[in-house]
């Protein structure tokens, strides 16, 4: 999976259905459950007494409210799907000057084991205007191939989270969504995944 970075707005429009289309077409909508995930079970410790600002706290990460998957069925047969998402990592400064050393976000959508599209990459680093406190990776993919659009979908967003100089992670564990990304424990990588299924024929 490509690791992504750079933020852009993602919008879409769908033409209104005619009266005849509305009579024979049904829409199925799916949204992620438990969209926000708490900050991984990781504590921080100073490596230098000269470090003043603590790392950010009160963080949330996962999927925003606009993340959804839509499928349209005509006579119970799949016609097309629309899939849109935004994976994000957002934090509050623990104190003045509090920020991450580096944040990176990237995402992708997979259908039946094949990557179909990448989301928009985003990143920030210490010293950026407004502080490095959050990133977001929006994306969209539409499929209009009928039965070829059916199957198992997975959207995943990956985040690289590096603490500012003077701090190290003392977690996470080995069974959660985050892993150490660097040998010196200054950086972790976290993966948010959302999976769902659209059948070719609606039950």
The domain of 190 spans 39-198
9 found inside a domain? no
Task: Report the distance separating Cα 22 and Cα 184, nearest Å.
Answer: 58
Structural domains in the chain (count): 1
Q: What is the mean pLDDT of residues 139-161?
A: 96
Q: CA-based angle 46:47:50, to the nearest 5?
A: 80
pLDDT in tens, 84-124: 999 999 988 888 888 899 999 999 999 999 999 999 999 99
pLDDT in tens, 51-80: 667 788 778 888 988 899 999 999 999 999
26 found inside a domain? no
In this model, does residue 175 exceed pLDDT 60? yes
135 found inside a domain? yes
In this model, does residue 151 exceed pLDDT 60? yes
Q: Where are the alpha helices (DSSP H) in 25-131?
A: none
In this model, does residue 180 exceed pLDDT 70? yes
Q: Look up residue 127 and give its DSSP letter.
A: T
117 found inside a domain? yes
Q: How confident is the model at residue 43 (pLDDT cuts 50, 70, 90)?
A: low
29 found inside a domain? no
Residue with tokens 């033409």: 15
How far, in Å, are 27, 32, 63, 69, 100 from residue 66 at the CA level?
A: 17, 10, 8, 10, 26
Enclosing H/E stretch for 19: helix 19-24
In this model, does residue 145 exceed pLDDT 70? yes
What's the pTM?
Answer: 0.80
Residues 77 and 200 sit within 8 Å (Cβ to Cβ): yes
């Amino acid at each position: 999976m490509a690791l992504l970075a750079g933020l852009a707005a993602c919008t879409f429009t769908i033409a209104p259905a005619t009266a005849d289309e509305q009579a024979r077409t049904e829409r199925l909508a799916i949204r992620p459950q438990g969209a926000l995930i708490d900050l991984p079970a990781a504590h921080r410790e100073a490596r230098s007494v000269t470090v003043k600002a603590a790392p950010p706290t009160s963080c949330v990460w996962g999927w925003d409210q606009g993340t959804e998957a839509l499928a349209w069925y005509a006579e119970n047969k799949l016609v097309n799907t629309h899939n849109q998402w935004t994976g994000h990592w957002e934090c509050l400064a623990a104190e003045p000057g509090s920020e991450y050393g580096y944040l990176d976000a990237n995402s992708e959508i997979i259908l039946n084991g094949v990557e179909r599209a990448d989301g928009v990459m985003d990143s920030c680093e210490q010293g950026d205007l407004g502080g490095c406190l959050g990133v977001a990776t929006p994306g969209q993919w539409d499929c209009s191939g009928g039965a070829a659009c059916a199957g198992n979908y997975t959207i995943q967003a990956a985040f690289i989270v590096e603490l500012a100089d003077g701090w190290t992670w003392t977690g996470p564990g080995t069974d959660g969504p985050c892993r150490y990304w660097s040998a010196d424990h200054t950086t972790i990588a976290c993966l948010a995944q959302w999976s769902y299924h659209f059948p070719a024929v609606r039950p």
